[in-house]
Structure 1
Amino acid sequence: MDKNTSPAYDLDLFFTNSLWGKIHLATAGGYICDEIFNDSQHGETKINLRKSARTDYGYKINPNLDKILRLGDREIDFKKFDKEMYLKDFIFYAKKGYFSFDKTFVNSPLDFHYHLVAYPIFSENNFQDGLSDYKKQEKEEIIRKAFLEPIEMNMLK
Structure 2
Amino acid sequence: MYTEIEQLILDIDWFFTDGIYVSFMASGGGKLPDSVIKSKENHELLVNYFRNLPEISDVMINPELDGLLIKIFGSGVDERYLEDYVLMAKKGLYSFDKTIPNNFLDPYYHLVASPKKPLLLIYNFKYSI
Shorter-chain TM-score category?
A: 0.7 to 0.9
Separation in 2 of the partners of 1:33 and 1:22? Answer: 16
Find the residue that maps to 1:46 and give its secondary structure: helix
Q: Which amino acid aligns with 2:47?
A: K
Q: Which runs of 5+ in 2 are unaligned?
A: 123-129
Q: Deviations over 1:97-122 (max 9, x none)?
A: 11100000114221111000001002
Note the alpha carbon deviations across 1:122-154, whole angstroms, 9 max, x for none: 2xxx78469xxxxxxxxxxxxxxxxxxxxxxxx
3-state DSSP class of the match of 2:4? Answer: coil
Q: State how far apart, in whole Å, the 2-side matches of 1:32 and 1:22 are.
A: 17
Letter aligned with residue 112 of structure 2:
V
Residues 72-95 of structure 1: per-residue CA shift (max 9 Å, x gap): 3x3x4x3xx771111111001101
Structure 1 position 61 matched with structure 2 position 56: no
Counterpart residue number, 2:85: 90
- In the superposition, the TM-score normalised over structure 2's length comes to 0.78
Once the two structures are superposed, the pairs formed by residues 19-98 of structure 1 within 5 Å of their partners are 21-39=21-39, 40-52=41-53, 54-72=54-72, 74=73, 76=74, 78=75, 83-98=78-93
Write the letter of the residue equivalent to 2:11. D
Q: How many residue pairs were aligned?
A: 120
5+ residue gaps, structure 1, are 131-157
Calculate the aligned-residue CA RMSD, in Å.
Answer: 2.5
Determine if contact 1:14/1:42 at 8 Å carries over to the other structure: no
Q: Report the secondary structure of 1:111's partner residue.
A: coil
TM-score of the superposed pair, with normalisation by structure 1: 0.65
The 3-state SS of whatever aligns with 1:97 is coil
1:2–1:120: structure 2 CA closer, same or farther, 3 Å change rule?
Answer: closer
User: How many Å separate the matches in 2 of 1:61 and 1:2?
Assistant: 31
Find the residue that maps to 1:94 and give its secondary structure. helix
Distance 1:128 1:7 in 2: 31
Moved over 4 A (4+): none
SS at match of 1:89: helix
Q: Is the 8 A contact 1:61 1:119 kept in 2?
A: yes
Q: What is the distance in 1 between the residues matched to 2:79 and 2:2? A: 35
Counterparts of 1:127 and 1:25, CA distance in 2: 15
The answer to which structure, 1 or 2, has the higher relative contact order (CA under 8 A, 6+ apart) is 2
Question: 1:16–1:22: 8 Å Cα contact kept in structure 2?
Answer: yes
